[in-house]
Amino acid sequence: MGTLGDFNLNGLKADFGLRHLVEVGTGSGAAVDLAAPLGFDHIHSIDSQHKLALATALRHSARQDITVIHARSEKGLKEALEDIPATAPTLFWLDIDYPGADARLQADPDARLERELRLICGLRSMGQDVLLVDDLSLYKGDLAFVAELLGATHMIDRSPQGTGVLIAIPKRT
Protein backbone atom coordinates (compact mmCIF):
# COMPACT_ATOMS: atom_id res chain seq x y z
CA MET A 1 0.00 0.00 0.00
CA GLY A 2 1.48 3.32 -1.06
CA THR A 3 0.95 6.78 0.30
CA LEU A 4 0.66 10.18 -1.26
CA GLY A 5 3.89 10.97 0.57
CA ASP A 6 5.69 8.69 -1.88
CA PHE A 7 5.24 11.45 -4.45
CA ASN A 8 6.71 14.92 -4.64
CA LEU A 9 3.36 16.52 -4.04
CA ASN A 10 4.66 20.07 -4.21
CA GLY A 11 6.40 19.27 -7.46
CA LEU A 12 3.26 17.73 -8.99
CA LYS A 13 1.24 20.68 -7.84
CA ALA A 14 3.63 23.16 -9.40
CA ASP A 15 4.19 21.20 -12.63
CA PHE A 16 0.52 20.79 -13.42
CA GLY A 17 -0.91 23.84 -11.68
CA LEU A 18 -3.03 21.59 -9.47
CA ARG A 19 -5.56 23.50 -7.38
CA HIS A 20 -7.70 20.71 -5.94
CA LEU A 21 -7.06 17.33 -4.38
CA VAL A 22 -9.68 14.59 -4.33
CA GLU A 23 -8.86 11.46 -2.39
CA VAL A 24 -10.87 8.24 -2.23
CA GLY A 25 -9.99 6.40 0.96
CA THR A 26 -9.33 8.83 3.83
CA GLY A 27 -7.96 6.11 6.10
CA SER A 28 -6.02 7.68 8.94
CA GLY A 29 -6.10 11.03 7.19
CA ALA A 30 -2.39 10.97 6.38
CA ALA A 31 -2.87 12.31 2.85
CA VAL A 32 -5.11 15.11 4.07
CA ASP A 33 -2.59 16.03 6.77
CA LEU A 34 0.19 15.98 4.20
CA ALA A 35 -1.66 18.14 1.70
CA ALA A 36 -3.24 20.53 4.21
CA PRO A 37 -0.35 23.01 4.34
CA LEU A 38 0.38 22.95 0.61
CA GLY A 39 -2.10 25.59 -0.48
CA PHE A 40 -4.65 23.62 -2.49
CA ASP A 41 -7.82 25.62 -3.07
CA HIS A 42 -9.73 22.71 -1.62
CA ILE A 43 -9.07 19.16 -0.47
CA HIS A 44 -11.86 16.58 -0.60
CA SER A 45 -11.38 13.17 1.00
CA ILE A 46 -13.94 10.37 0.86
CA ASP A 47 -14.32 7.28 3.02
CA SER A 48 -17.22 4.93 3.56
CA GLN A 49 -16.02 4.04 7.06
CA HIS A 50 -17.71 6.56 9.31
CA LYS A 51 -15.19 6.48 12.14
CA LEU A 52 -12.27 7.11 9.78
CA ALA A 53 -14.01 9.94 7.96
CA LEU A 54 -15.20 11.59 11.15
CA ALA A 55 -11.83 11.53 12.91
CA THR A 56 -10.10 13.35 10.06
CA ALA A 57 -13.06 15.70 9.56
CA LEU A 58 -13.06 16.80 13.19
CA ARG A 59 -9.30 17.26 13.14
CA HIS A 60 -9.71 19.77 10.33
CA SER A 61 -13.16 21.17 11.17
CA ALA A 62 -11.88 24.73 11.32
CA ARG A 63 -10.48 24.51 7.78
CA GLN A 64 -13.09 25.61 5.28
CA ASP A 65 -10.84 24.35 2.49
CA ILE A 66 -10.87 20.72 3.66
CA THR A 67 -13.97 18.54 3.32
CA VAL A 68 -14.10 14.94 4.45
CA ILE A 69 -17.10 13.11 3.04
CA HIS A 70 -18.50 9.99 4.62
CA ALA A 71 -20.00 8.10 1.71
CA ARG A 72 -19.43 5.32 -0.74
CA SER A 73 -16.88 6.44 -3.26
CA GLU A 74 -19.22 7.21 -6.13
CA LYS A 75 -21.67 9.21 -4.04
CA GLY A 76 -18.76 11.01 -2.38
CA LEU A 77 -17.13 11.78 -5.74
CA LYS A 78 -20.37 13.27 -7.02
CA GLU A 79 -20.61 15.49 -3.95
CA ALA A 80 -16.96 16.55 -4.18
CA LEU A 81 -17.06 17.26 -7.90
CA GLU A 82 -20.09 19.52 -7.47
CA ASP A 83 -17.77 21.87 -5.59
CA ILE A 84 -14.92 21.84 -8.12
CA PRO A 85 -15.00 23.75 -11.41
CA ALA A 86 -14.86 21.22 -14.25
CA THR A 87 -11.68 22.74 -15.65
CA ALA A 88 -9.81 23.44 -12.39
CA PRO A 89 -6.67 21.26 -12.40
CA THR A 90 -7.25 18.51 -9.87
CA LEU A 91 -5.21 15.68 -8.44
CA PHE A 92 -7.19 12.47 -7.93
CA TRP A 93 -5.70 9.99 -5.47
CA LEU A 94 -7.66 6.77 -5.85
CA ASP A 95 -7.07 3.46 -4.18
CA ILE A 96 -7.90 -0.05 -5.31
CA ASP A 97 -7.96 -1.42 -1.78
CA TYR A 98 -8.49 1.26 0.83
CA PRO A 99 -9.66 0.10 4.30
CA GLY A 100 -12.97 1.89 4.04
CA ALA A 101 -13.92 0.34 0.73
CA ASP A 102 -17.37 -1.14 0.98
CA ALA A 103 -17.16 -4.81 1.98
CA ARG A 104 -19.53 -5.86 -0.77
CA LEU A 105 -17.52 -3.98 -3.32
CA GLN A 106 -14.24 -5.27 -1.96
CA ALA A 107 -15.07 -8.52 -3.65
CA ASP A 108 -15.00 -6.63 -6.90
CA PRO A 109 -12.59 -3.69 -6.61
CA ASP A 110 -12.01 -3.73 -10.33
CA ALA A 111 -15.61 -2.75 -11.00
CA ARG A 112 -15.43 0.01 -8.42
CA LEU A 113 -12.36 1.60 -10.01
CA GLU A 114 -13.93 1.53 -13.43
CA ARG A 115 -17.14 3.08 -12.10
CA GLU A 116 -15.21 5.78 -10.25
CA LEU A 117 -13.14 6.63 -13.29
CA ARG A 118 -16.14 6.73 -15.62
CA LEU A 119 -17.92 8.98 -13.15
CA ILE A 120 -14.96 11.36 -12.90
CA CYS A 121 -14.48 11.52 -16.66
CA GLY A 122 -18.20 12.05 -17.17
CA LEU A 123 -18.28 15.07 -14.87
CA ARG A 124 -15.04 16.79 -15.87
CA SER A 125 -13.08 17.97 -18.81
CA MET A 126 -10.13 15.80 -17.94
CA GLY A 127 -7.29 17.35 -19.90
CA GLN A 128 -5.83 19.19 -16.92
CA ASP A 129 -6.18 16.58 -14.16
CA VAL A 130 -3.63 14.17 -12.71
CA LEU A 131 -4.74 10.72 -11.57
CA LEU A 132 -2.86 8.38 -9.27
CA VAL A 133 -4.33 4.97 -8.51
CA ASP A 134 -2.73 3.07 -5.66
CA ASP A 135 -2.46 -0.70 -5.11
CA LEU A 136 -2.39 -1.44 -8.80
CA SER A 137 -0.88 -4.89 -8.22
CA LEU A 138 -4.14 -5.92 -6.53
CA TYR A 139 -6.06 -5.17 -9.69
CA LYS A 140 -6.98 -8.40 -11.42
CA GLY A 141 -9.01 -7.21 -14.36
CA ASP A 142 -8.47 -5.60 -17.69
CA LEU A 143 -7.39 -1.97 -17.54
CA ALA A 144 -8.46 -1.25 -21.10
CA PHE A 145 -11.06 1.20 -19.82
CA VAL A 146 -8.25 3.46 -18.54
CA ALA A 147 -6.87 3.89 -22.04
CA GLU A 148 -10.39 4.25 -23.40
CA LEU A 149 -11.19 7.05 -20.96
CA LEU A 150 -7.82 8.81 -20.67
CA GLY A 151 -5.77 7.71 -23.64
CA ALA A 152 -6.54 10.77 -25.73
CA THR A 153 -5.73 13.30 -23.01
CA HIS A 154 -3.21 11.64 -20.72
CA MET A 155 0.07 9.78 -20.68
CA ILE A 156 -0.54 6.62 -18.72
CA ASP A 157 2.21 4.85 -16.85
CA ARG A 158 2.65 2.29 -14.13
CA SER A 159 5.05 2.75 -11.24
CA PRO A 160 6.27 -0.30 -9.36
CA GLN A 161 6.66 1.55 -6.07
CA GLY A 162 4.83 0.03 -3.13
CA THR A 163 1.98 -2.13 -4.38
CA GLY A 164 2.06 -0.38 -7.71
CA VAL A 165 0.62 2.93 -8.84
CA LEU A 166 -1.13 3.86 -12.05
CA ILE A 167 -0.11 7.35 -13.06
CA ALA A 168 -2.04 9.43 -15.58
CA ILE A 169 -0.71 12.89 -16.36
CA PRO A 170 -1.96 15.40 -18.93
CA LYS A 171 -0.32 15.25 -22.34
CA ARG A 172 1.61 18.45 -22.98
CA THR A 173 0.42 20.33 -26.00
Residues in contact with another protein by CB under 8 A are 50-51, 53-54, 57-58, 61-62, 64, 67-72, 75, 79, 103-104
- Shortest CB 106 distance to another protein, Å: 11
* Between 18 and 66, CB nearer to another protein: 66
* Between 67 and 90, CB nearer to another protein: 67
- Shortest CB 136 distance to another protein, Å: 26
Backbone angles phi, psi at 115, to 5 degrees: -65, -40
* Between 23 and 130, CB nearer to another protein: 23
* Between 54 and 138, CB nearer to another protein: 54
- Shortest CB 78 distance to another protein, Å: 9
- Shortest CB 158 distance to another protein, Å: 32
